[in-house]
Amino acid sequence: MSGESATASAGKRKRTETGDKSKKRRKSGGVDGGDLQTQLQKLEAEILESRKHYNNVATLIELAQKKADDVSTAQAASETLCRVFIRLLALGNLVKRKDASEKEATVTTWLRERLADFREVLLSMFDNEKLALQALMLAMALLKAEAQHLDDKPEAIFPRYFFSEIINSIIQSPVDELRETFAENFIDEYDDIRFYTFEAIKDFLGRGDEVDEAIREVVFDMLLGVEEVPDSNDDIDAFYVEPPNKKKHPLRSLSQHKKQAQEAWLAFMRMGLSKEQRKKILAAVSTTIAPWFTKPELLMDFMTDCYNAGGSTSLLALSGVFYLIQERNLDYPEFYTKLYSLLDADILHSKHRSRFFRLLDTFLGSSHLPAVMVASFIKRLARLALNAPPSAIVVIVPWFYNLFKRHPLTTFMMHRVPRTKEEKELIESEGAADPFLPFEQDPMETRAIDSCLWEIVQLQSHYHPNVATIAKIISEQFTKQSYKMEDFLDHSYGSLLEAEMTKEVKKPPVVEFMIPKHIYTKAGPEEEQQDSLLVSLWDFGSS
Amino acid sequence: MAGSQLKRLKSSLREQGIIGPQKSKKQRRQNAQDQKATNDKRVQRHEALASIREQFNPFQFKTNARGPKFEVTTSKPLTAREAMGINGRPGLTKAVGEERRRETLLVEMQRRNKVGGLIDRRFGEDDPHMSLEDKMIERYTREQQRAHKKGSMFDLEEDDDEQMGGLTHGGRPLFDDDDDVLPKDDFDGEDIPSGDESDNSHAERRVLKRQRLEEALEAAAEQEEGQPDRKKTKKEIYEEIIAKSKLHKLERQEAKEEDNELREEIDEAMGELRSLLFSRQKPGAKDAKDANGTLTVAGKDQATLDREYDVQVRKMAADKRAQPADRTKTDEEMIADAANRLKELEEQRLARMRGMAVEEEEEEEEGGKKKKKRASNDEDLDMMDAEEEEDQFGLGSGIKSNTKYRPTATELGFDDEDDFLIDDDLVASGSELEFDSDDMDEEESDDEDGSGSGSASDSEDDEFTKGLLTEAESKAGVFRLPTTTKGNDANGVPYEFPCPQTHEEILETFKPIAVPSLPVAVQRIRALYHPKLDSRNKERLGNFSQALVRHVAYLGDRFEPEWFPTLEGLTRHVHSLAKTFPIEVAKGYRAVIQEMDQERPLALTVGDLVTLTAVGTTFPTSDHFHQVVTPGMLVVARYLSQKIPRDLSDYATGVYLSILALQFQQFSKRYVPEVMNFCLNTLCALSHEKPRKDLGFFPIHEPAAGIRIKSASKTVVRKLNCGDCQQPEQARSIEDANSLKIAIISTTVSVLKSAADTWHKHPAFYETFSPALLVLQSYLSKSNSVHIPSSLNVKVTETSSALTRLLQISQLSRRPLELHHHRPVAIRTYVPKFEDSFDPNKHYDPDRERAEMAKLKAEHKRERKGALRELRKDNAFMARENLRIKKEKDAAYEKKYKRLVAEIQGTEGQAANEYAREKEARKRKAGRR
């Protein structure tokens, strides 16, 4: 449409405006399912035909607003509207021009207001379960069109305000599916959407007003869902809206992306975290979250707090703290003391056991650690092994073996010959008391190095044959260089049982030679046989 | 050497004695007389000349420029060639090559592009003088020659003997050509000498041959005498060899001749000999030889005799050998035997407990031999060690290594029913009489009134099988199905059953039978389907026992308190079946255990408890590894460790399992950490006050609401029963709950006590049980003790004091660990590998394939080079030949051309002359005129 004809038709439209409006309204009042489609098509055609029908836009918006009572109408209307607006935007009808006449300016302003109305309608649709997905698609299509054509510039400008409105609505929407779709189709796909999402979330959280728990959870999931950090600036190449041409634009720089992500995360963490969220963050910190940070040091306080919290939170924080120590030169005083305190009664029963042992193996991997401290770790774990499930014992003992190999001083815990005569006499008369102090906090002070590993020797007669065999390795010659920990880490009652049960019985098993006279009943007084433990402690109703 | 070539030649000729000062006439005559020497001299002279010729041709030899590469000292004298370091004779090789090419390549070249033709191999075609007979003779000789060439290139022996292709048998000629006895045509006979040269007799030839040989030998001997130093020529050497071989042949032939003569003599005397021989044999059977000459013995002919003999032999083979009967043993001996047997079984159990191989012993025992060949402990450990190395302790899959050492019931000798019975005789000595006379009713009563007639039905081994077999025998003389009894007995148990194969079938079959009479029903099924009665019964009973295992669990789930004697009876039946069908029963139990593991690892039912108990009694729980017990123990431990009890019934189940786990370990005293955890946790959970944190390193689960005990001091302490393990449909009343709680506490304390008794020998007993002591003491604190009855208080006090005592003892008896008094491991040594006859030129590649490859490559390279060289030479030869042919052609052409030119010139000259003459004549004529 050329500029001249546009102005000419604008004049006509002004005149016919009122009459048209009333007509259309009347028509639209009698809308029913059958000719809805045709009517919408007609309205759309008219709008595109000439300017005088622009009021149809208002009619359509009205139709779209009635989402509560008529879903299909609202759907169809909003779809039509979206098409119309995209067409209009593409034609440049919404562009404010300096040289435009007053009338034209009025039309543009009016159209822009209608566009704002339509946005509102779309965003309000996000709360409706049936409409949400379509509304999201329309909103995103509109966003793209706006970016391209709302201003009279050759470059696309990302409509940040509209986008942050979208994000806010998405966050507050009760529809979970909506968020999933958004994450899948937009955040994961397009780098710029991700960039602006982080920004929007940061703004949303940074507004300072109280955010309730459910929404926090939603934001958390969204943030956590963003994976795959791009490797370099060149990796950022998927754009939803045409990207700016400037090379230096923040959208094209990885560090800017990271910065946005980091700020979003920090904003989120400032809100305060529940215990569950904390654990989730800790679990993901080194794999998903930390790579997004340009300055992971910012996580230090968080991590150390978590690490000091104790319990399973500490366990989970361990890997993050380690990451910081290793990569970011975090100075954590008394790290080993803290690590030692993590070895409590529950650690061997914890489901994070194998994860913890992998880390522990790394921490105690250095041969430069003081043997006294290593001995403390060994002794403490040996104590714990007395109450541990077989799958844990199976990890501990080969690990001990590796430590003994690495720190030969600790082998005195397996082999201690009394050297003086007095010492020998003392042991003869009073027995060997364990000098180990089990409740001492400092691993350098436990006196474990002077103790012996009676616990492991006891486990050599463990009820499970394989555990017993493994426990025997410490009393055999240390001919092997080291054991591979990975072979022992992931076992459980289930896997042990499965290993037994998958084997077919081929050889006839041994059967007890004597058939016992009594299993549940008591032996008669004239019999010499003693009651079994079971019969004497349990009531089988026969006595 | 100085001087010109000619001078050098002269001097060397003189040195060799070929030229010299002229000999006088006398000398020459003498030489001529010396006939023998002449020949030799000529040879010598010839050799000397050849060597001189060689010496003076600098291109004759290819030598190393700097002499031989290595100085070598050998015992063999060096040949001239070796001394000079001659590598080859290029001239000679070239000549040979050229010659060969001329023979092959040149021929081919000439024939090239020419039409091939026939080679006429006929003879005498173009010779009109040859008669037909001559042609035949010629053909025959050629054939003979061809045959001769093929086989006997190196055949020294046959060269002058007649070439008789002849008939053979088994590779040997039919007629030995030296055998004079063989029939021959009279024409060929020796005694008629024929004038024909071709029919030269053998004898003559032999004589000739001998003469020749002798001559040759003499000559050789003379030569040796004459010139001992001179080396023999090759020809001479070969001649010698030929002569020798001929001599040997001659000797052989002579020996053979002698043999033949002897044989002839014997042949002549054969008639007499034969009569002598047969006259000896005949007197036994006078008229044995009938007219036909067939032999008969004792009036029967040969065939009948053979048949009878065969029958006799077969009978003897079928005869059973007499076996010595077992001596009847005295009572004392029988008791001693039984005791021995028990002792052996105990030893085996101990071996299994240590996880050692018992197989060999088992086998020996089966054979009834007493020699003990115990696998040494160390060896055994080493083996296990090696296996561990391989499969990393078999956590995932390595437990196979252990199963290898399991002895089997078969090996124990229980597989065969007969053995079973013999065992029975040995062990259950008292039961024999009763069961021979009485039938099952006796047993029924026994099972019904439980312990009442316990001693009467001495169930040492298998009263079941015992009774049933005799019963079956009494009912039917031979083993057959007892079909006579029908209907039901007094308890409503029918006498006849189908043999249920699955658990569903069992349910169907046992539906009409009251639970307490089930053992009787099982008993009857076992009797009806005794393996001796039918070959298929074994399989049937196997399936039945498997299903029965499941049925016991099924009954356990629906238990009534008074059913336990029945369950016991059934379990014992299963046990006795397990002796016959160990695999089936084990599979049955394992299936139930697997079901527990997969469907309800943390919600075990009473049926599961019953099954686990049965596992504990049926199989030896003290074994280091057992296919059924180990998984069962894992299921128990899993429940104890992972179940976080919510209800009192969970605690009760746990307590039952703790008792069970402890009972499993009564003999082997293995440590079960889960029992400790569970007991301590239970006590902490039930105590009135929340216990302190620092009791020990066992995990404490916070109990659900209403679990902690409160004001139950008036409750009577009772025992737990299986009903307590089930979650009640409606909530328990406070009294019931309190009573149950007290029962749980009381039982747990007892379990702790017996656990302490079981494990007090362990080195870490102090560490293990000091938390238990702390927990018990916390019960004795004022705030707790008011809530529990005084009798329980007393019990706790007693237990804790007993524990204190045990702890003290263990503390005193503990010694520092000295685990590593091992002998130092020697560094591994290897015997170095020596090559006996090392050759630096050979390649000693240990990798066979690589060595072969290298060899092949080298050969290929060599061959390739050779082929290239040959081709190049061929090309040169061809070029040369072509050039030669062309030159010849050109020369011929030139010659012809010249001839023609000369001819023409001649004619021209003649014509010119004629013309000149004519001109002259005319001129003269004209002049005349």
> Under the phi-then-psi rule, with left for phi > 0, alpha for psi from -120 to 50, and beta for the rest, what region is B450?
left
- What pLDDT is stored for residue A463 in this prediction? 92
What's the helix, strand, coil split of chain A in %, to 5? Answer: 65, 0, 35
Using alpha carbons only, how large is chain B's radius of gyration in Å? 58
What is the band of B35 on the pLDDT scale with cuts at 50, 70, 90?
low
What is the band of B231 on the pLDDT scale with cuts at 50, 70, 90?
confident
Residue of B649 and B149 predicted with greater confidence: B649
How would you write B825-888 as a 3-class SS string?
CCCCCCCCCCCCCCCCCCCCCCCHHHHHHHHHHHHHHHHHHHHHHHHHHHHHHHHHHHHHHHHH
User: Is residue B14 situated within a structural domain?
Assistant: no
On the question of pLDDT at A70 being above 70, the answer is no
The answer to which of A278-292, B190-204, B432-446 has the lowest mean pLDDT is: B432-446
Cross-chain residue pair B673–A389, CB shorter than 8 Å: yes
User: Is residue B353 situated within a structural domain?
Assistant: no
Q: Where are the alpha helices (DSSP H) in A92-190?
A: 102-125, 132-149, 160-172, 176-182
Chain A residues lying within 8 Å of B819, measured CB to CB:
414-415, 457, 474-475
User: Is residue B785 situated within a structural domain?
Assistant: yes
Q: How many CB atoms lie within 10 A of CB B721?
A: 16
User: Is residue B357 situated within a structural domain?
Assistant: no
Cross-chain residue pair A349–B402, CB shorter than 8 Å: no
Cross-chain residue pair B455–A524, CB shorter than 8 Å: yes
Select from A344, A386, A474, A504 the residue whose CB has the most chain B CBs within 10 Å, as the one to mutate to test that interface: A386
On the question of pLDDT at A373 being above 90, the answer is yes
Cα separation, A250 vs A244, whole angstroms: 10
Select from A411, A429, A451, A507 the residue whose CB has the most chain B CBs within 10 Å, as the one to mutate to test that interface: A507
- What is each CA distance from B492 to B326, B514, B515, B662, in whole angstroms? 45, 8, 11, 41
Nearest chain A alpha carbon to B595 = A501
What predicted TM-score, i.e. pTM, was given to this entire model? 0.59
- What pLDDT is stored for residue A270 in this prediction? 74
Cross-chain residue pair A386–B764, CB shorter than 8 Å: yes
Cα separation, A126 vs A178, whole angstroms: 8
User: Is residue B698 situated within a structural domain?
Assistant: yes
Using alpha carbons only, how large is chain A's radius of gyration in Å? 37
Q: Which of A207, A292, A303 is nearest to A215 (CA)?
A: A207
Per residue in B584-637, pLDDT (tens digit) is 899 999 999 988 888 888 888 888 988 999 998 899 888 888 889 999 999 999
User: Is residue B725 situated within a structural domain?
Assistant: yes
Q: How many CB atoms lie within 10 A of CB A231?
A: 9
Letter for the amino acid at B35? Q
- What pLDDT is stored for residue B893 in this prediction? 97
On the question of pLDDT at B360 being above 50, the answer is no
Structure tokens at B736: 């019931």
My answer on whether B696 and B791 are in the same domain is yes
- Which residues are CB-contacts of A180 (< 8 A; sequence separation ≥ 6)? none
What is the band of A473 on the pLDDT scale with cuts at 50, 70, 90?
very high
My answer on whether B446 and B549 are in the same domain is yes
Domain, as residue range, for B910: 872-929
Cα separation, B449 vs B443, whole angstroms: 10
The answer to which of B213-222, B577-586, B732-741, B901-910 has the lowest mean pLDDT is: B213-222
My answer on whether B423 and B568 are in the same domain is yes
On the question of pLDDT at A39 being above 50, the answer is yes
Chain A residues lying within 8 Å of B567, measured CB to CB:
519-520
Q: Does B471 touch chain A (CB under 8 A)?
A: no
- How far is the alpha carbon of A502 from chain B, nearest alpha carbon, in Å? 9
Mean pLDDT across the stretch A29-37? 54
> Under the phi-then-psi rule, with left for phi > 0, alpha for psi from -120 to 50, and beta for the rest, what region is B498?
beta
Share of chain B above pLDDT 70, in %: 71
Residue of B158 and A20 predicted with greater confidence: B158
Task: Give me the residues of B, 801-830, that contact A with CB < 8 A.
Answer: 811-822, 825
My answer on whether B449 and B484 are in the same domain is yes
My answer on whether B443 and B562 are in the same domain is yes
Letter for the amino acid at A447? R
> Under the phi-then-psi rule, with left for phi > 0, alpha for psi from -120 to 50, and beta for the rest, what region is A293?
beta
Cα separation, B453 vs B447, whole angstroms: 9
Cross-chain residue pair A452–B624, CB shorter than 8 Å: no
Exposure letters A319-340 (e unless 16+ CB within 10 A, then b): bbbbbbbeeeebebeebbebbb
The DSSP call for residue B73 is -
On the question of pLDDT at A467 being above 80, the answer is yes
My answer on whether B624 and B671 are in the same domain is no
Task: Please give the tally of structural domains in chain B.
Answer: 3
- What pLDDT is stored for residue B220 in this prediction? 60
Mean pLDDT across the stretch B738-758? 90
User: Is residue B213 situated within a structural domain?
Assistant: no
- What pLDDT is stored for residue B440 in this prediction? 38
- What pLDDT is stored for residue A274 in this prediction? 73
On the question of pLDDT at B210 being above 80, the answer is no
A388 neighbors A349 (Cβ within 8 angstroms): yes
Cα separation, A387 vs A389, whole angstroms: 7
> Under the phi-then-psi rule, with left for phi > 0, alpha for psi from -120 to 50, and beta for the rest, what region is A137?
alpha
Share of chain B above pLDDT 90, in %: 19
The answer to which of A190-199, A523-532, B762-771, B817-826 has the lowest mean pLDDT is: A523-532
What is the band of A222 on the pLDDT scale with cuts at 50, 70, 90?
confident
- What pLDDT is stored for residue A69 in this prediction? 63
Cα separation, B725 vs A329, whole angstroms: 57
On the question of pLDDT at B398 being above 90, the answer is no
The answer to which of A76-90, B127-141, B187-201, B914-928 has the lowest mean pLDDT is: B187-201
Cα separation, B696 vs B835, whole angstroms: 69
- How far is the alpha carbon of A433 from chain B, nearest alpha carbon, in Å? 6
Q: Does B667 touch chain A (CB under 8 A)?
A: no
Cα separation, B227 vs B221, whole angstroms: 10
DSSP output for B664-702? HTTTT--B-HHHHHHHHHHHHHHSSSPPPSTT-SS--PP
Hey, which of A152-166, A212-226, A388-402, B782-796 has the most confident mean pLDDT? A388-402
A319 neighbors A285 (Cβ within 8 angstroms): yes
Residue of A290 and B760 predicted with greater confidence: B760
Q: Are strands A538-539 and B720-721 parallel, antiparallel or unpaired?
A: parallel
On the question of pLDDT at A356 being above 60, the answer is yes
Q: What is the mean pLDDT of chain A?
A: 77
Structure tokens at B609: 């408890």
What is the band of A243 on the pLDDT scale with cuts at 50, 70, 90?
low
Q: Does B450 touch chain A (CB under 8 A)?
A: yes
Q: What is the mean pLDDT of chain B?
A: 75
Residue of B347 and B124 predicted with greater confidence: B347
On the question of pLDDT at A526 being above 70, the answer is no
My answer on whether B461 and B566 are in the same domain is yes
- Which residues are CB-contacts of A4 (< 8 A; sequence separation ≥ 6)? none
Cα separation, A176 vs B574, whole angstroms: 58
- What pLDDT is stored for residue B885 in this prediction? 93
Nearest chain B alpha carbon to A538 = B720
Structure tokens at B156: 């020294």
Select from A520, A521, A536, A542 the residue whose CB has the most chain B CBs within 10 Å, as the one to mutate to test that interface: A520
My answer on whether B677 and B566 are in the same domain is no
User: Is residue B759 situated within a structural domain?
Assistant: yes
Cα separation, B261 vs B268, whole angstroms: 11
Exposure letters B156-193 (e unless 16+ CB within 10 A, then b): beeeeeeeeeeeeeeeeeeeeebeeeeeeeeeeeeeee
Residue of B706 and A32 predicted with greater confidence: B706
Residue of A105 and A529 predicted with greater confidence: A105
- What pLDDT is stored for residue A453 in this prediction? 92
Residue of B435 and B919 predicted with greater confidence: B919
Helices B629-642 & B673-686 angle (0-180, nearest 10)? 30
- What pLDDT is stored for residue B297 in this prediction? 52
Q: How many CB atoms lie within 10 A of CB B122?
A: 8
Residue of A183 and B145 predicted with greater confidence: B145
> Under the phi-then-psi rule, with left for phi > 0, alpha for psi from -120 to 50, and beta for the rest, what region is A272?
left
Per residue in B247-273, pLDDT (tens digit) is 999 999 999 999 999 999 988 888 888
Q: Closest to B631 (Cβ–Cβ): which among A432, A487, A500?
A: A500
- How far is the alpha carbon of B334 from chain A, nearest alpha carbon, in Å? 18
Structure tokens at B775: 């927990």
My answer on whether B620 and B691 are in the same domain is no
Mean pLDDT across the stretch B330-355? 86
What is the band of B903 on the pLDDT scale with cuts at 50, 70, 90?
very high
Select from A472, A511, A540 the residue whose CB has the most chain B CBs within 10 Å, as the one to mutate to test that interface: A511
Nearest chain B alpha carbon to A435 = B816
- How far is the alpha carbon of A506 from chain B, nearest alpha carbon, in Å? 7
Q: Closest to A387 (Cβ–Cβ): which among B587, B676, B822?
A: B676
Share of chain A above pLDDT 90, in %: 15
Of B794, B813, B832, the one marking the end of a domain is B813
My answer on whether B883 and B808 are in the same domain is no
My answer on whether B669 and B795 are in the same domain is yes
**What is the phi/psi pair of residue B775, to 5°?**
-65, -45
Nearest chain B alpha carbon to A347 = B699
Q: Are strands B296-297 and B300-301 parallel, antiparallel or unpaired?
A: antiparallel
My answer on whether B745 and B619 are in the same domain is no
**What is the phi/psi pair of residue B523, to 5°?**
-55, -45
